[in-house]
Amino acid sequence: MNAWMRRAKRKAAIAVALVLGLAGMLPVTPDARVQAEELDQRVVFAEGLGDGFTDYSWGDRSFTERGVVHQGSVAIRFNPSLDNALYLYSSSAYLLSDYNTLEFWIHGGSLGGQKLNVIIQAGGQEAAKVDLGEYLAEGRLAADWQKVQVDLTKLKIPSGVFDGIMLGDQSHGHQEDVYIDDIRLVRERFPVSDKQPAPISEQIVVFDDRMRADFTYFGSPASSLLETTTVHAGTYAASLVPGDGHGIYFYKDRVLSTTEYKTLEFWVHGGTEGGQQLDLTIQAGGQSAARIEVEKLLTNGTIAAGEWRKASIALDTLDLPGEVFDGLLFQGRGDGSQPAVYLDDLVIVKETYEQPRMERIAFPAVSLVVHEGGDEPPLLKAFYDNGYVESQEQGVSWSSGQPDIAAVENGRLKAYRTGSTVVTATYETFAASLQVQVVQVEPEPVYDDRLREGFDNWSWGTVSLTDGTVVRSGSQAIRFAPRWWQGVYIDHEEGFEARDYYGFEFYVHGGDLGKQKLRFVVQDMNTILGSVVLDELLPDGIRPGVWQKVTVRLADLGITEGYFDSFVVQAWDWREQEPVYIDDIQLLRYKDRRQNPKPVVHEVDVRIDPSANRRAINPDIYGVNFEEIEPQDMSSFTGYPVVRWGGNSTTRYNWETNVQNHASDWFYMNLPKTNSPNEQLPHGSRTDQLIDKTLGDGGKVLLTVPTIGWTPKDREVRTGYSVSKYGQQQQTECSWGDWWCNPDAGNGIRPDGSYIAGNDPHDTSKPVGPDFAARWIDHIQSRVGDQVNYYALDNEPMLWPYTHRDIHPEMTTYDEVWTYTRDYGQAIKQADPDGQIFGPVVWGWCAYFYSASDGCAPGPDRQAHGGKPFLEWYLEQVRKHEQTNGTRLVDYLDIHYYPTESGVALSADESNQIAARRLRSLKALYDPSFKDSSSWIGEPVNLIPRMKELIGRTAPGTKLAITEYNFGNGRGISSGLAQAEAMAIFGREGVDLATRWGQPLANTPVEDAFKLFLDYDGQGGKIEGFSVKADSSNVDMVGSYAVQGPDGKLYVLLFNKDPLPKQANVQIDGYSGARKDVYRFDASNRLAHVGSLEAGAGYSVELPGRSATLIVTNP
């Protein structure tokens, strides 16, 4: 790239700072300088709940206990009876890599002996559970204070991320109070215990010799709990003479969830005669939830005479309403009396917690290049059956084919001389090999007392390149005070070709305290090519008082081709940290590189059957969202079938005055938008311009209709949290330092971190109702006729208490969403009988199941609506309204989906690890067994089949729309490849409409992804028609899809997700087309025609690493 082109990007440096910070941005608490030891702990409770923690407990508890206190003035008192739980939830997620130990003090009261579990939560789900007794002296709570330290790394939390800590009752009965104090999350350098948590098997006993205290017996005169002649175990059994309405009813004092208590077991005896017909009814709230014929649960399908037989029921397969129950009713079936039947040992079993099993060990790549004299860990990973991945260091046996070239000693890979060898690791029954190439490198200085020629300092934040207080060599070093994702940003006017360089080397010094959190980022033209957190390279972290060498291999970041031109040493924490010092930065260039032998090109078989699995593809799946601020380099391509007007600011859009309130996205400000020249409002507004342009390009508009009930009141610039009215705040628009800023526009958070409450919505807004929406539709129809028919019911309502809290501080509920759906839906249908309505437009995983009122876990709002997940309940209301009134108010189930796998959505990170994770995360769209270990969800998402099944069960005929999704910023190959495959998946799985968040930028892989489907040949060629069966022998390496067009063309899409080339052997059943045109894009080449094949039904094609290939066969 020419030097002038690279210099032209200078003005983007500040924007890059924001991009770099995006991946790490988390909700923040008041800005405060922190000491290094504070970075190593988070207070959960000490004299009160720590910042960001909320009490989500149930059961009797107090956070102001003064009688039994460990230190300070107050502790927590909690009664762990009847399945109560102390649940402390954090609004910010925590990484195991940052906090690996849970530490607290607990007191058993006057007696002790209580039974509790320690439970770690992630996203409202149980991520791990252990018996508290495992961590107590003598295995029990004592009548004194005891310190508990739980090594969280031993729990193998699938996501590596958690957000809640729970102490839960294990007894299911009555227990005495316990007291808890000084709860902290701590980062310990060494594990506190090498003991694996013991598996737990729990059960609720309903009856064994007697009724348990938390069950109530309601028996008819023909029943008894004191039977002594026919007993399975112990002294007593239950007896019943079935018939004439007689029965035994066991009632639980609280509902049980079948997601937790999954199995009912009991023993039954037929007395002297046997053959009884007995029904078991599962009750919920006094109503029958399911009925089972008991004899069908038994061997030979009969209640036997003279012997006990065990019955077992999988409760979670019964499809109970709300997945809850609270009673068991045994009754005879049919009329008339039957011989006595006997029951004993009734238990409800909770799913057993088991430790995950190791499935394999592996290296992250088949080969590794190390420079001569290198000394580093060998990067061996262990993979578990629950998706958890961890470094495997202990207990590994190592061998080397040529130990004089390279070998592993004391857990470190030592490179002695140039050459190539194979290093093998063996652990228990597993083995893995790594080809190691040792090369020579020569240093190219970047900074040693000064920046070398050609390098520029684009740093932002508190950075000095001439500090003389802490120096490794020479007289000066770089001093950096890390905070707010700022960084030392060094740019070079020319790009470096990645294949010529081994990587970077520099030295870092932690000052007086050390332990700073930093990330090293490599970029090209402001695009992140790869990054690594320094803690991953320094086992002890950044240490105080000493210089430590850091070596960053480009290959480890996935950078092997193309160019790089800059690097950033970035703060990886929002808080202000102690200064860190950096010196002697150099690039390491290959001196005499001997290439490893080329790896074997693996073959993948692809079988296509155009007659099978045929499904019409709706072209509306290739849509995009409107860009609020169009980047200068946005793609000029305009052939999108759908453009959505959506996002947070559209919730507060006044179509009459052309003003949007940007909510929490930008200081709750009303900002007027530019009108079309020579037009009088409401004509010529921003939405009028969007509609005119989209219709002119041949597309459809999906219009977000505000339903929140407030809209900007005039065309003045106004703010929801005026500093002059509500006082000083943590940030204002001027916090970013721009000359044009408004110092009165605050973020609604006081300097102490508390949220401003009780502000006046009329500061910015006026109330509106459904007639406001109806008039808008009338206005649109007066301009363009019946050409706009897609209407979305607002945007992400379950986030309103956060994004729009200046006017909607209340937590959104089931009823609120349905009420405005009904009111606005009717108004829209009346204004536009052809209108298609999209709802409820929820933000993601938690909102599929819960309201904002409940958070991300079952709560009172869900319980008040039959215990049903939110979307299920919502669609049921849609169906009931249609059956009652004859009008379908919601035509599309509209959801948003951002992959929760770390570093995937919106990210510019193209490091090898993130790229592989991004491409793997696509399986969450359709695979019922896939879950990613880096996701906090902790269970398979199975998004599209899950939603299709829900629609079919509750509101058949409703279409499915995914109106916001994103698999990366689109500048890098993995995000472009993921975008292309996502659209192929949408077509195969039957999504009806989809719009990507973020329009493509010019000359990027994501632009290629859209053109692959909408203009693959540059002449308007589109992939359209029917998705047909296409099977790949290895979907993790090569994804395969096929579409048969209405003209008989066959489109074969092959996505190589591996960084190495692959050979695809394609076989097409019953298809004789000969000429095949091949189109492709990859990391280095934009979409183009790359050749033709003359072949019949079978052919082979080589796929470059990380590439998308389209093969078009003419009939």
> What is the predicted pLDDT for the residue at 357?
73
Where is pLDDT greater, at 634 or 202? 634
**Diameter of the chain by CA atoms?**
102
Quick one: which of 135, 137, 132 has its CA closest to 193?
135
Residue type, 389: V
Phi then psi for 467, rounded to 5 degrees? -80, 135
Pair 125, 939: CB distance under 8 Å: yes
Burial class (CB in 10 A: 0-12, 13-18, 19+), 390: middle
> What is the predicted pLDDT for the residue at 240?
92
> What is the predicted pLDDT for the residue at 23?
35
Burial class (CB in 10 A: 0-12, 13-18, 19+), 713: buried
- What are 70's two structure tokens? 């460990």
* CA 233-238-242 angle, 5° bins: 140
Average model confidence (pLDDT) across the chain:
87
* CA 351-352-358 angle, 5° bins: 125
Report the percent of the chain where pLDDT is more than 70. 92
Burial class (CB in 10 A: 0-12, 13-18, 19+), 833: exposed
* CA 804-805-809 angle, 5° bins: 130
Phi then psi for 464, rounded to 5 degrees? -125, 130
Each residue of 322-379: pLDDT tens digit? 888 889 999 998 878 899 999 999 998 876 555 567 888 888 777 788 888 888 877 7
CA 355/CA 132 separation, integer angstroms: 16
β-strand partners of 122: 125
724 has pLDDT over 70: yes
Distant-in-sequence contacts of 3-7, Cβ < 8 A, 24+ apart = 3/493, 3/494, 6/493, 6/494, 6/495, 6/525, 6/565, 7/493
Helices (runs of H) and strands (runs of E) counted in the chain: 16, 67
How crowded is residue 769: how many other Cβ atoms within 10 Å of its Cβ? 13
CA 852/CA 831 separation, integer angstroms: 31
Pair 298, 267: CB distance under 8 Å: no
- What are 613's two structure tokens? 């699995």
CA 663/CA 721 separation, integer angstroms: 10
Each residue of 1019-1046: pLDDT tens digit? 999 999 999 999 999 998 999 999 999 9
CA 885/CA 890 separation, integer angstroms: 13
- The sign of the torsion formed by the CA atoms of 342, 345, 350, 356 equals negative
CA 854/CA 868 separation, integer angstroms: 12
28 has pLDDT over 50: no
* CA 538-541-543 angle, 5° bins: 110
Helical pair 973-989 and 943-954, crossing angle rounded to 10 deg: 30
* CA 710-714-717 angle, 5° bins: 100
DSSP state, residue 102: E
Each residue of 44-87: pLDDT tens digit? 999 999 888 988 888 889 999 999 999 999 999 999 987 789 99
* CA 557-998-939 angle, 5° bins: 65
Query: Who's near 74: CB < 8 A, 6+ residues apart?
Result: 47, 48, 63, 64, 65, 66
Query: ω into residue 682 within 30 of 0, thus cis?
Result: yes
- N- to C-terminal Cα distance for the chain? 43
CA 796/CA 807 separation, integer angstroms: 15
- What are 68's two structure tokens? 């039994």
CA 408/CA 417 separation, integer angstroms: 14
> What is the predicted pLDDT for the residue at 2?
33
- What are 133's two structure tokens? 């007794």
> What is the predicted pLDDT for the residue at 1084?
86
Quick one: which of 787, 788, 807 has its CA closest to 797?
807
Phi then psi for 799, rounded to 5 degrees? -100, -5
Where is pLDDT greater, at 91 or 788? 788
Quick one: which of 124, 201, 190 has its CA closest to 163?
124
CA 963/CA 948 separation, integer angstroms: 16
Each residue of 866-879: pLDDT tens digit? 999 999 999 999 99
CA 182/CA 478 separation, integer angstroms: 39
CA 208/CA 555 separation, integer angstroms: 63
Query: Who's near 456: CB < 8 A, 6+ residues apart?
Result: 10, 490, 491, 492, 493
CA 852/CA 854 separation, integer angstroms: 5
Helical pair 770-784 and 686-696, crossing angle rounded to 10 deg: 40
Least confident of 113-117, 296-300, 647-651: 296-300
CA 66/CA 283 separation, integer angstroms: 43
- Banded model confidence at residue 630, pLDDT cuts 50, 70, 90: low
Query: Who's near 754: CB < 8 A, 6+ residues apart?
Result: none
Each residue of 640-665: pLDDT tens digit? 999 999 999 999 999 999 999 999 99
> What is the predicted pLDDT for the residue at 1005?
95
Question: How far is CA 375 from its chain centroid?
Answer: 36
Question: How far is CA 1093 from its chain centroid?
Answer: 41
pTM of the model: 0.66
- What are 675's two structure tokens? 């009108």
Question: How far is CA 921 from its chain centroid?
Answer: 10
Q: What count of Cα atoms within 13 Å lies in the side-chain half-sphere of residue 432? A: 20
> What is the predicted pLDDT for the residue at 29?
30
Pair 497, 435: CB distance under 8 Å: no
How crowded is residue 903: how many other Cβ atoms within 10 Å of its Cβ? 21
> What is the predicted pLDDT for the residue at 556?
81
CA 926/CA 543 separation, integer angstroms: 45
* Domains in the chain with CATH codes: 36-195 (2.60.120.430), 204-353 (2.60.120.430), 363-439 (2.60.40.1080), 442-590 (2.60.120.430), 602-614+1023-1113 (2.60.40.1180), 618-714+762-1014 (3.20.20.80), 721-758 (no CATH)
Residue type, 754: S
CA 845/CA 386 separation, integer angstroms: 20
> What is the predicted pLDDT for the residue at 354?
54
Each residue of 1064-1091: pLDDT tens digit? 999 999 876 678 999 999 988 999 999 9
Pair 185, 161: CB distance under 8 Å: no
> What is the predicted pLDDT for the residue at 386?
60
